[in-house]
Amino acid sequence: MPQPGNMQPVLAMAGRALLHWLRATALDALLMGILWLIGLLLLHVPLAPLWALVGAFAQFIPNVGGMLALIGPALSLLFAGRNWEQFGLLLCLYAAIVFIDQIFLQPWLMKRNARVPIWASIFGPIVLGILIPFWGILLAPPLLAVVFAFRKPKPQQQR
């Protein structure tokens, strides 16, 4: 067990890992907000900039934010009296954005900013979601960032 005086470097490294995770999540939120804005404007959804902003902020809730971002535009289309075809296109937009985010963008940003391997950022939330339902999914991204911060880089990665 580490001495109380030796905990400071450990806490500093964990803090830096969480800061890198927050940076990756903020960049992800910005990019998702832009994707939402473009898609909602193309679909002529009422209050599209507001819903894109809500979608960007919802990205800070791992793996659940995308679903929350869909509620506003869906209700907006419903109350505007739009047809079912436009609602179906909104669902297709949501599926495309979530696919891009979960399979490509988040794993790439986590690898680039927090040194979390792509395989871990895809399968980590799935495994933790099975082991600890609901909380495992929410805690997986920052927990992975902290765990992989303590791994030593391979010799070819050291410079």
pLDDT score of 124: 86
Distances in Å between the alpha carbon of 111 and those of 17, 82, 130? 12, 41, 23
Region of poorest pLDDT, from 52-56, 95-99, 154-158: 154-158
- Amino acid identity for residue 153 in this structure: P
pLDDT exceeds cutoff 50 at 52:
yes
Q: Is residue 70 predicted with pLDDT exceeding 60?
A: yes
Tokens of 127: 């495994």
**Number of neighbouring beta carbons within 10 Å of residue 94:** 19
Tell the residue number behind the tokens 């927990």, with chain if given: 143
Segment 28-35 shows an average pLDDT of: 94
CA distance 114 to 108: 10
pLDDT of residue 157: 54
Cβ proximity of 17 and 154 under 8 Å: no
